[in-house]
Chain A
Amino acid sequence: MSTQAYEITPKDKNFIGWHLAVAIIALAIGSLFGPLQAFEHAGWDLYKYLNPLIKSYYQGLTLHGVLNALVWTTFFITGFLTFTVIYGFKRPLKYPTLNLIGFLLMVVGLVLAAIPILLNEATVLFTFYPPMKANWAFYVGLTLVVVGSWVEGWGFFYTYAAWRKENPGVRTPFIAFGSIITMLLWQIATIGIAVDMLTMLIPWSLGLLPGVDPQLSRTYFWFTGHPLVYFWLLPAYISWYAMLPKQVGGKMFSDSLARFAFWLFLILSVPLGFHHQYVDPGVPPAWKFIHAMLTFSVFFPSMLTAFTVVASLEYGARQNGGKGMFGWMRALPWSNPSVAAQLLAGLLFFFGGIGGLANASYNVNLVLHNTAFVPGHFHLTVGTGVTLTFIGISYWLIPYLTGKKLWQPKWAVAQAWLWFVGMIIFSNSMHILGLLGAPRRTPLNLAPYIPAEWNSRLFQVGIGGAILFVSGAIYLTVVAATFWSKQPATEKVEVPVAEALQDPALGPAWLDRWTPWVVATLALIVLAYGPMLFDLIKNIALTSPGFRVW
C-alpha cells in the first residue's frame, strides 16, 4: 500500500469539515436525550421539565435515535470517506460539484425531517414502523438524506474510475478500496428503504394511498436496516485495519485478509434482514431460518477482522518492546486519545458481537426480542464500536483539517475511558434487564409492573447514562476548544496510513476485481429475498390506517 503523504487542498478540507460539523452537532443534540432515557429508567424523569418544548419520552427517544443512529453516522461517514477516497487515491474528487450537491441534499433532508420531529409530528422512533404515521416531511427528509449520500457515493465511484484510468493494473489503495465497497454496500442496501418510502410511506403520508402494508414495509426496512449496521461499521474497520496499526507503531498484518473480509461483508450484509423479524407472523419459518444461517455466516469475516486487527496491534506493540502473551498490550500508546478511544471501542465491540449472535439465534432470540437487551446490544456496537471509533478518528482528523493542536489530549483520553466505563455500566444493566424481561422502547418509570429485581439495574442504567453524558460533554468541549483555538499545531498532523507487512501487489489479483463479487452479492440477495418479496408484493394489502399513538 502506498503510504506516501498527499496534501489535501484547503477547499476539500473545508468540505470534509462541514460533514463533520453537521455530524457532531447532531451527536450533541441527540446525545442530550440519551441520558434522559436512562434517567427516566432510574426514576429521575426530567422530561416533565422539558414540556412543552419536548412533549414526551417518545419524542426524546425519536430525537436520540434519528440524530445519533442516522444523522451523526451518515454525515460522519460521508465526510470520512470523502477524506479516505481523496487521500487513498491521492487525487481530488473527479466531480466535486456532484459531491457538493449530494451534501446539500443531505442537509436539506435533515432540516426537513427535523422540523416535524421537533414539532412532535413524527414521534415514530428511528425505525418509523408503520402503521405509526408521521408527517410527510419526515419521510421526504430522510429520503433526501439517503439520496444525498447516494450522490456523494456516485462522486466516489467517478473518482475511482478516473484513478483506475490513470493507474491501470495498480492495486487499489486499501483505504480507498474499503471506502468504495462501503458506498457500494450502502447503495445496494438502501434500495429497500427507497422502495418503502417512494411506493408506500410518502404517498401514504400525503393521503395518496388509503392505507399501508406494515408487513411489507417492515421487510423493506430490514432489507436496509441490517446492512445499515455494516455501513456504520466498515468505515470504523477501515480505521482499525489500516490506520490504527500506524498509530500504534506497527503495520497492517494482512492486506489480503482485509480485502477478503470487506468483500465478504459486501456479499453477506444484505440477505439476512429476516433475523430482525423472527416474531413477524407474515414471514414463514423457513425464510427466517435461511436468514439466520446467513447471519451466522457474517461471523466469519468478523473473526477475520478481529484476527487481523488484533494481530496488527500485537505486531506494533512488540515493535515497541511489548512482551508476554498479553503484556504486549501495555506497550500500546494508550496516552494517545485517538488510539485509546479506538482500542476501548474495539474491546467493547467484542461483547457487542457476542450479544449479536444471541440476537441472531432463532430460538434464543425469543428470550430477547423487543427487550432492553437489544438497545443494550446496539449501544455496544453502534453506540461504542462505531461512535467511539469515530470520536477517536476525529481526535486526529479535526487537527489535520483545521491545522490546530488538539485541545487538552489528556481530557480526550479521560473522555474515552469515561465512555468505556459508562457504557459498561449502562449496557450491562440493559442486557440483564432484557434477560429479566424488561421491554425496550418503554418509559419504565411509568410502568406499574416493575418487579423488585429490576430496581438496582434500572438505577445502574441511570448511573451509566450520567457518566456517558459527562463523557459526551467532554468530547464536545475538546472539539469546540480545538476548533476555536488560536493555537496552531506545532507540528504537521500526520495522516496515519499503515503499510502492510506484505506488499499488497503480491496479493491475489482476484481481490481487486469487482465483477464476480458484485454479481455474487446481487445473486445472493435475489435468492434470499426474491421469493418472499415477490409473495409479499403480490399479496400487498394497503389496508392499515395510520395511527398517531403519541
Chain B
Amino acid sequence: MAKKNSNDEFRPQGTVAILVIFVITLVVLWGSIYLILLGRGGTV
C-alpha cells in the first residue's frame, strides 16, 4: 500500500487482516478446547 498523506484516504486494511487472523485463531483455539471437553464425555 502506498504511503498515505491524507486522513480521508486511509483504509486500515492491515488492521482488518490482523483482526481476521485473530478471529480465526480464536475459533481454532476455542474449538480445540471444546474437543477436549467432548473427548472427556458428559461428566468432564
Contact = CB atoms under 8 A, between A and B. Distances in A.
A251 B17 CA distance: 20
Interface in A293-312: 303, 306-307, 310-311
A319 B1 CA distance: 12
A306 B37 CA distance: 29
A524 B42 CA distance: 33
Contacts of B36: 367, 435
Interface residues of A, number: 32
A281 to B, nearest CB: 16
Among B1, B12, B25, the one with the most A-chain Cβ atoms within 10 Å of its Cβ is: B12
B19 A303 contact: yes
Contacts of A361: 30, 34
A324 interface: yes
A66 B29 CA distance: 31
A315 B10 CA distance: 7
A318 B18 CA distance: 16
Nearest to A368: B33
B33 A364 contact: yes
Nearest to B40: A367
B33 A435 contact: yes
A321 interface: yes
A350 B14 CA distance: 16
Interface string B15-42: 1011100100110011001101100100
Contact of B3 (A323, A357, A367, A435): A323
A54 B23 CA distance: 44
A323 B30 contact: no
Contacts of A357: 26, 30
B33 to A, nearest CB: 5
Given A315-B12, A350-B22, 4 more contacts: A310-B18, A314-B15, A353-B26, A366-B37
Interface of B: 1-4, 7, 10, 12-15, 17-19, 22, 25-26, 29-30, 33-34, 36-37, 40, 44
17 contacts: A310-B12, A310-B15, A311-B12, A318-B4, A318-B10, A324-B1, A325-B17, A328-B1, A361-B30, A361-B34, A363-B37, A364-B33, A364-B34, A366-B44, A367-B44, A435-B36, A501-B7
Interface of A: 251, 253, 303, 306-307, 310-311, 314-315, 318-319, 321, 323-326, 328-329, 350, 353-354, 357-358, 361, 363-364, 366-368, 435, 501-502
